[in-house]
Structure 1
């Protein structure tokens, strides 16, 4: 990847982070309620009962409303735990147990199920800074999800969660960037890639 492309990724991430922080707690909570409803709709469409998700930090689209709903409706949710080798372990969400990772983001605490637990979910819901119409996902640069997805023999459908203005026509990408099968925003569930008639 050329330096201009690397710089473009950094600039997009910085812009997204700034806009998300400007949203404030009330705006983030309202967006989270919409995201929860959209995920519920996706689960209804796909009949999914076991999903992987993430604990949202203050600058990520809020997944807390969905995690609460899932616990109340007996939907199993696996949450990631970072590993030193760049892959992700997983644990079953209990709705309460978490800690602050050394890098500052929230991380689940619980019985470690190992990296292959992800092979037994119906859907994988992942964070992103932005998603393009062709399915290109821009993460935050640490590569946990790209490495995890790249190591899977059979991937479940991958859905990225972003705000509406973070679903964009195109994004820079590298060979290791794993595309997603759809995007969830506070107002829409969108299968990807988009066809020409959309």
Structure 2
């Protein structure tokens, strides 16, 4: 149902609406970062057409001189990381270099449980993130829900970013 709703949202959204969503996500994330130690490296996914748009966020980070790690899907559905979209392949373990990790999700439970696309790529990646590094999931408004299904191997995210509410710590439900 969430996948169908996303496809419908994108099919009916104008380019102007999509640009507004992208700008809101970038502005909220920038405000959240301003209250933290400046990251040297952020791992960020390149959004698919039905996902909340991350292009403006990536541009904002680059303009601040922040190094970006961008994932690339491997044949086994694991992810390797590149230094920017066209940079050199840094390998699967490069995610451990990130000071903040931005991940996609279809929905996030209030306890931080992440519902992904079902391929398990981020289930493989998240255990490689250095402990204590914040993992922020990006979702549309309404996709922070009471609960989502989880498995024992699932790693919870620390925060969720939405176009309307900004970055919210899902463990305490505090808005930044």
Question: What is the rounded CA distance, in whole Å, between the counterparts of 2:7 and 2:150 in structure 1?
Answer: 19
Aligned residue pairs total: 172
**Distance change >3 Å, CA 28–CA 195, structure 1 → 2:** closer
Alpha-carbon separation, structure 2, partners of 1:38 and 1:125 = 13
Q: Which residue of 2 aligns with 1:168?
A: 145
Q: Residues 48-75 of structure 1: CA distance to partner in whole angstroms, max 9, x if unpaired? A: 2311001112111111111112222211
Alpha-carbon distance, 1:152 to partner: 4.7
Distance 1:27 1:59 in 2: 13
Structure 1 position 41 matched with structure 2 position 31: yes
Any conservation in 2 of the 1:119–1:154 contact (CA below 8 Å)? no
How far is 1:84 from its partner? 2.0
Q: Please state if 1:90 is matched with 2:68.
A: no
Q: Which stretch of the first structure deviates more once superposed, 168-177 or 73-82?
A: 168-177
* Structure 2: unaligned runs, 5 residues or longer: none
What's the offset of the Cα at 1:23? Answer: 2.6
Shift of 1:81: 0.9
SS in 2 for 1:58: coil
Label 1:171 to 1:21 Cα distance change in 2 as closer, same or farther (>3 A).
farther
Q: Please report how far the alpha carbon of residue 20 of structure 1 lies from its aligned counterpart in structure 2 after TM superposition.
A: 3.7
Higher deviation after alignment, 116-125 or 173-182: 173-182
For residue 181 of structure 1, the aligned residue among 148, 158, 161 is 158
Mapped contact 1:119–1:156 kept (Cα < 8 A): no
Post-superposition, which runs of at least 4 consecutive aligned residues in structure 1 deviate over 6 A? none
What TM-score, normalized to structure 2? 0.88
Does the 8 A contact of 2:95 with 2:125 survive in 1? no
- What does residue range 42-121 of structure 1 map to in structure 2 within 5 Å? 42-47=32-37, 48-93=39-84, 108-121=85-98
Q: 1:18 to 1:66 in 2, by over 3 A?
A: same
